[in-house]
Structure 1
Amino acid sequence: MGLFRLLFWIAIICAAVWVWRRYISAPKAARQSPRQQDAAPMVRCDHCSVHVPQAQALKQDQRWFCSQAHLEQGTQSGDR
């Protein structure tokens, strides 16, 4: 009878740990993993080649710029 009682309590403890890991720890792990859908589209500045979020970039024709100064200066000549 003692062995049955010991196995019963081991099964209860294992089930409790499983439930705790499944329902308590899972949401925290899900919050830590970044999602690809949440990433903002990036564009490259046509003057300095720095990548900036598209929402913060300035567009002129088909070219993107990271700041008003680079927009006014235009495309940089020379090697990039």
Structure 2
Amino acid sequence: MKYVLLLALLALLFFMLGAKRGRPREPEARAAPPPPKPQAMLRCAECGLHLPADDALPGKGGVFCSAAHRASFEARQGQA
């Protein structure tokens, strides 16, 4: 009988130690990070694709989604 009691006490001890390890200690650790701020969306002058302002490539006549579209647009504008 005393072995069963000893085993129950050890199980309770391990349970309590495991529960303390799983909890965050600081309140900031529980808070979710704030969502990212919205970005301006720009339209590619060549294909019309909308993309974030950080990813847009500036060029003559507007912004572009890729260097190939910028070159194609500028070549077409140079011919006209």
TM-score normalized by structure 1? 0.45
Larger of the two Rg values belongs to structure: 2
- Structure number with the bigger relative contact order (C-alpha 8 A, sep ≥ 6) is 1
Q: Give me the TM-score of the superposition, normalised by structure 2.
A: 0.45
